[in-house]
Chain A
Amino acid sequence: MFVTYIRGVIRVMILFLFGSTGEIITEKSGHLNMGTPGIMCMGATGAVVGGVIYLKAIVDPTTANGFLAIIIPMLFCLLFAGLTGLLYCFLVNTLQCNQNVTGLTITTFGAGVFPFVSNMIGSDGLSILSSSFYIRIFPKAFCEANWFTQIFLSHGFLVYLAIIIAVVALLILKKTRVGLSLRAVGESPATADASGIDVSKYKYIATIIGSCISGLGGLYYLMVMNNGALEYNIESFGWLAVALVIFSLWNPGIAIAGSFVFALFYQLPKFISSSGAAAQIISLIPYFVTIVVLIVVSLFNKRETQPPASLGVNYFREDR
């Protein structure tokens, strides 16, 4: 029972992790992207579109090639999410729109596009494609060997991809020149600019890469969590992912632990099989914990745990 619970927790945690890792990378460039829930929706939309295109091409879903069944929806997912990120960045960075307004617009847009598109083109057969996504990457016998392998090693590849991305993001941010420059762009774009860093380039690339990673969360939600069935609940997960960014103090490493904690509470009502008010209250815990973290962090007032200093502020070099 406990093993099933923790496995379920890991399944949910990966969705949070994709969303928040992407948002952390975006926010490190100084872009407060409130459009993350929408971008996750766009990622899911891309996955539906890619899946349907592939299904149309092969006519009979049962003949689907496992590799193509993964790669085509994934590419479309990255394309849709990346383009939405590009749109956000164009509005905010090139046209100097307000970041909050733009982000919220994108969230409403994505949350509307996903059901609309997937209803329009139909999604029969997606569940067949989705089976490729949660194929275990380790042999079955190994996965079932003991409780440890059952909990941690019996997942599909997206689970490990999410963790790898988070770790790589952490290493890049902390250890490399690119990471240093990206952090400088988010902290003080004028400084970065005067040091010869191309601020716009960093903002664009970070936002697009961040959006692609968040978008993968949409793919994961559609193909793994719901086995290809259309559920339109991504947006609320997306907001939790945004909250998780604050919880993890803009650190992808803490985001791994944080997403686990969030998922732990999220799954708890199912585990203790409570229902009604109690279940509702328990699922509120992640939001509550985020508020507590904000309070604790502001009490300590340590500079390193603060959000990027110019988060949400647009940069224009010739501003006087």
Chain B
Amino acid sequence: MENNTNSNIEKAIELIGITKTFGNVVANKNINLDVYKGEILSILGENGSGKTTAMNVLSGIYAPDEGKIIVNGNEVLIKSPKDSLKLGIGMVHQHFKLVDVFTAVENVVLGFSKDDTSTLSHKNSRKFSLKEAAKEITLMCKKYGFELDPYKKVYNMSVSEKQTLEIVKTLFRGVDVLILDEPTAVLTPQEIKKLFDVVRNMKKDGKSIIIITHKLNEVMEISDRVAIFRKGEHVATVETKKTNEKQLADMMVGEKINLEIKRSEPNNPQDRLFVNNIFVKNNDGQMAIKGVSFTARSGEILGIAGISGSGQKELLEAIQGLRPYETGEVTFQNPKENKPVTFYHKTLKRVKFLASMNQFHYKDGTPVSFKGMKDKEIKELVNEGKVLFNKDEIVDLKGLNPKEIRGLGIRLSFVPEDRLGMGLVGNMSIIDNMMLRSYRHGKGGFVDRDRPKKLTKRIIKELDVSTPSAETQVSKLSGGNIQKVLVGREIALIPKVFMAAYPVRGLDINSSYLIYKLLDKQKQQGIAVIYVGEDLDVLIDLCDRILVLCDGHVTGIVDARHTTKDEIGLLMTKHEEVQ
């Protein structure tokens, strides 16, 4: 398996027979892995394949149940991150480990003790001098080509700056082995290029770099060798030169998979949702959406691209009615042509109002205004379906709360970014989570548990959710299965507009493609789909049109069939005032 014919190559790290379990879950099973000095090693695997766990064992976050770790030829015991740093192993975690209220330099010197003599700053480690440390940071930035202001507070930093700081922090400790966990997940194509340049500089400097990722193109671009993980096991290590994306993908999944997203043609697109020049504030009271306008059409997927934090969340929340907007308007064209009206969605008052606007007619086409009729008669006409809508109903969503938006028959479905935070309640069972959307139905004061139970069983079956039972707590499921439950619940409502924010975040390839397929299916059924995504390749392959957000402005709406990643990447970073 190993192409280790050259005996001159020195091993920096050897993992021998590492096993790690969490309760009943085997996260790592007998992992054997070598890391050479001065190489870039990619660790490739789906979510839950144990890549991060193995590296967390190496960096002292998790203690392995079995196995040996050999660093520079000596067997070592790594009990804490401190031990690992002393051995010259540093890790940049996917979720940054930085103290928000500290400056860059304070974060860098954090945890430095007097006896850390193996480090770059041994000169000043005796005393606590932020000034000296800041100087060294500037020097280091020059050496590797970083840009970082040592006195900037972390909470003022962009994601890219935070990542730079994390790398500087580990380099400052003089690490020889740098582990980067999903480093490109939140970066723009341009920032990724910059990061890769830095990584190559570090390699030139003789350091070993381990990059955990599931993005095949990046693996091919940056790494010397690729270690593939599958279901907690290390399947193989191959030289990048001697492989290709297809082969890697097959090894990663363990079966032949089709990496193409099947995009159907738009299904009779009609304007469905109009967003006109809205301004929305974020939680900190700053403008997150600064005059955004667009139209979402039925039978079409509208992608929203942008660096995370460009206002995607605020935009969707405003449409859904979860967040107020002062200026601008959101209107919804409700396709109700010649359809019966029911009191399920409308109050008597509203029906009377609409009738006075000539919105209803009898089946034979004569208009009805309900003038002079008694409430009881109106109800009878409506309930028996003798009265129909004249035409599409245009509804102003402004000022309506989410419940009213649903109640009016406008079914915006929303998959929030933060799955467990807003979409589901972690400590409740799957059925109970289904009931969050239907608890109002039922007899008297009691809730109806039968329908949610059936829905749960259907979702588990149709979306292939792996769960011990329908009564299992949602928080006990894996990320992918949680997402399936959430998406399943939302599309079960057969919405007219379906908004999904990062629905594949943290999902493995198979689950991701299942979600893409589901989205495409919604589109074929004539639903207007709005998809907020991170992976530009996917956006280009899946969507019909892509709206690019940058700092709260729309910097462009492009045709997904005729665009390139670079074009979108440039639009994502186009920082100029847009009228």
Contact = CB atoms under 8 A, between A and B. Distances in A.
Interface stretch (B96-104, B393-401, B536-544, B554-562): B96-104
B153 interface: yes
A184 B112 CA distance: 12
Contacts of B98: 188, 191
A183 to B, nearest CB: 7
A309 B154 CA distance: 14
Given A301-B284, A318-B61, A197 B101 contact: no
B111 A196 contact: yes
B46 interface: no
A198 interface: yes
Contacts of B61: 193-194, 317-318
Contact of B81 (A188, A195, A306): A195
> Which of A175, A176, A180 has the most chain B CB atoms inside 10 A of its CB?
A180
Nearest to A302: B101
B505 interface: no
B80 interface: yes
Interface string B409-430: 0000000000000000000000
Given A184-B102, A317-B61, A320-B22, A197 B97 contact: no
Interface in B84-116: 85-86, 91, 93, 97-102, 106-107, 109-113
A176 B85 CA distance: 22
B513 interface: no
Q: How large is the interface on B (under 10, 10 to 19, 20 to 34, 35 or more residues)?
A: 20 to 34
B110 A192 contact: yes
Interface in A272-320: 301, 303-304, 306, 309, 317-318, 320
Contacts of A183: 99, 102
Contact of A191 (B85, B109, B110, B112): B110
B82 A196 contact: yes
Interface string A176-204: 11001101100110111111111000000
A174 to B, nearest CB: 11
A198 B102 contact: no
A187 B112 CA distance: 17
A181 B99 contact: no
Nearest to A318: B62
B111 A192 contact: yes
B155 interface: yes
A181 B80 contact: no
A304 B91 CA distance: 27
B128 interface: yes
A318 B93 CA distance: 14
A317 B61 CA distance: 7
A303 B100 contact: yes
A220 to B, nearest CB: 33
Contacts of A180: 102, 106, 109-110, 128
Interface residues of A, number: 26
B81 A194 contact: yes
Interface in A25-63: none
Contacts of B93: 194
B80 A193 contact: yes
Contacts, number: 80
Nearest to B90: A194
Binding site of B, secondary structure by majority: helix, strand, loop or mixed?
loop
Contacts of B153: 303
B92 to A, nearest CB: 10
Contacts of A309: 100-101
A177 B285 CA distance: 35
Contacts of B101: 187, 303-304, 306, 309
Nearest to B130: A180
Contacts of A306: 101
Contact of B111 (A176, A181, A318): A181
Interface in B104-155: 106-107, 109-113, 128, 153, 155
Interface string A53-88: 000000000000000000000000000000000000
B284 A196 contact: no
B100 A177 contact: no
A91 B285 CA distance: 39
B100 A188 contact: yes
Nearest to B110: A195
Interface string B32-67: 000000000000000000000000000101110000
Contacts of A193: 61, 80-81
A202 B153 CA distance: 24
Contacts of A317: 61-62
B106 A196 contact: no
A34 B202 CA distance: 49
Contacts of A192: 99, 110-111
A306 B374 CA distance: 60
Contact of A195 (B111, B128, B285): B111
B97 A303 contact: no
Nearest to B82: A196
Contacts of B102: 180, 183-184, 187
Contacts of A194: 59, 61, 81, 91, 93, 97
Contact of A196 (B85, B107, B128): B85
A203 B82 CA distance: 17
Nearest to A308: B101
Contact of B99 (A187, A198, A301): A187
A177 B112 contact: yes
Contacts of A190: 97
Contacts of A175: 128
A192 B107 CA distance: 9
Contacts of B59: 194
Contacts of B128: 175-177, 180
Given A191-B110, A303-B155, A184 B80 contact: no
Contact of B110 (A181, A198, A320): A181
B567 to A, nearest CB: 37
> Which of A175, A176, A193 has the most chain B CB atoms inside 10 A of its CB?
A193
A271 to B, nearest CB: 40
Nearest to B111: A195
B99 A188 contact: yes
Contacts of B82: 196-198
B110 A197 contact: yes
A186 to B, nearest CB: 9
B62 A184 contact: no
A318 B85 CA distance: 18
Contacts of B107: 191
B80 A191 contact: no
A177 to B, nearest CB: 5
A191 B155 contact: no
A175 B109 CA distance: 13
B349 to A, nearest CB: 40
Contacts of A191: 97-99, 107, 110
A120 to B, nearest CB: 45
B127 to A, nearest CB: 9
Interface in B309-339: none
A48 B360 CA distance: 86
B111 A197 contact: yes
B100 A184 contact: no
A3 B110 CA distance: 47
Contacts of A318: 22, 61-63
A177 B284 CA distance: 31
Contacts of A195: 81, 85, 97, 110-111, 169
Given A191-B98, A193-B61, A195-B169, 7 more contacts: A180-B109, A187-B100, A187-B101, A195-B97, A301-B285, A317-B62, A318-B62
5 contacts: A180-B106, A192-B99, A196-B86, A318-B62, A318-B63
Interface of B: 22, 59, 61-63, 80-82, 85-86, 91, 93, 97-102, 106-107, 109-113, 128, 153, 155, 169, 284-285
Q: A-B pairs with the 8 shortest C-beta distances?
A: A195-B111, A196-B82, A191-B97, A196-B111, A194-B97, A187-B99, A197-B111, A195-B110
